[in-house]
């Protein structure tokens, strides 16, 4: 891309996504998307004609990847940080996805007010993992907001997802295993029942460090646990499944 066209700002770069030749703009000094977002895009199921809301979309990585990987009709990203919204909107433009993806500036806690009840088939979220009792808060505000429950809590995410989902709609979330009981209990409180779960292991002999979860609005209480997803077969070498999820 010709940088002189004004789509890039200081400290920004363009990363290849290896899907449909899509690219994404990121700021090297701010929070950049990680593997968790990519794995969520591979776990989430979006059927033909469905609409998707990504809560806390950051720079728009999940809507862009889901548009590339699925047959969904339309994708919306909601983000509270204006700098991230600006980058996400420019990424939509460079990929010529203006008709398929909207990026909205707003607060997750007000999602149901912004979009209305029962307005989406699918919700995705890569929420802040840490509450106030876990870990040091990054001094950079954008990184702190992405990692810690500063501007929204797990309850905020689940409550608003339950409101905006249609009956039998689905939420897909990536989180940390140590919060799993909290997550399932909170989802159940809002009638989002856990239906499918997959643990992500850095190596086959290590403990899992991520969990992928699907919950269904008004679903029954029968939970399927998928086979483990192993990231590395040896240091620096991904497993074949990870390469496939990335699109290499």
Please spell the DSSP secondary structure of 54-70, one letter per residue.
EET-TTTHHHHHHHHHS
Domain topology for 3-246: Rossmann fold (3.40.50)
What would the pLDDT profile of 175-221 be if each residue is shown by its tens digit? 999 999 999 999 999 999 999 999 999 999 999 999 999 999 999 88
pLDDT digits 0-9 by tens, 60-96: 999 999 999 999 999 999 999 999 999 999 999 999 9
Strand partners, 104: 78
Q: What whole-number distance in Å separates Cα of residue 79 and Cα of residue 133?
A: 24
Q: Residue 3's pLDDT is what?
A: 44
pTM for the predicted model, two decimal places: 0.90
Note the pLDDT of residue 7. Answer: 79
Residue holding tokens 């989802």?
A: 187
Mean pLDDT score of the chain, rounded to an integer? Answer: 90
Of the two residues 128 and 144, the one the predictor is more confident about is: 128
Spans of all domains in the chain: 3-246
> What is the rounded distance in angstroms from the CA atom of residue 213 to the CA atom of residue 174?
6
């Amino acid at each position: 891309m010709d940088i002189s066209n004004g789509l890039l700002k200081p400290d920004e770069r363009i990363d290849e996504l290896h899907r449909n030749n899509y690219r994404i703009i990121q700021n090297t000094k701010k929070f950049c998307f990680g593997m968790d977002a990519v794995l969520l895009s591979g776990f989430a199921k979006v059927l033909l004609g469905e609409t998707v809301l990504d809560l806390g979309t950051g720079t728009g990585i999940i809507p862009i990847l889901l548009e590339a990987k699925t047959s969904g009709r339309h994708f919306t990203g909601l983000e509270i940080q204006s700098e991230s919204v600006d980058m996400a909107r420019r990424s939509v433009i460079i990929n010529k996805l203006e008709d398929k993806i909207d990026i909205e500036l707003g607060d997750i806690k007000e999602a149901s007010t912004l979009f209305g009840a029962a307005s989406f088939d699918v919700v995705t979220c890569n929420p802040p993992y840490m509450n106030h009792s876990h870990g040091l808060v990054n001094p950079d505000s954008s990184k702190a907001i992405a990692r810690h429950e500063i501007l929204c809590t797990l309850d905020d995410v689940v409550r608003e997802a339950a409101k905006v989902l249609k009956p039998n709609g689905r939420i897909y979330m990536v989180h940390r295993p140590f919060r799993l009981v909290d997550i399932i209990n909170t989802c159940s409180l809002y009638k989002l029942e856990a239906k499918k779960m997959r643990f992500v292991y850095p190596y086959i002999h290590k403990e899992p460090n991520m969990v992928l979860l699907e919950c269904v609005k008004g679903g029954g209480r029968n939970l399927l646990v998928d086979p483990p997803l192993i990231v590395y077969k040896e240091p620096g070498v991904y497993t074949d499944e990870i390469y496939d999820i990335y699109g290499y």
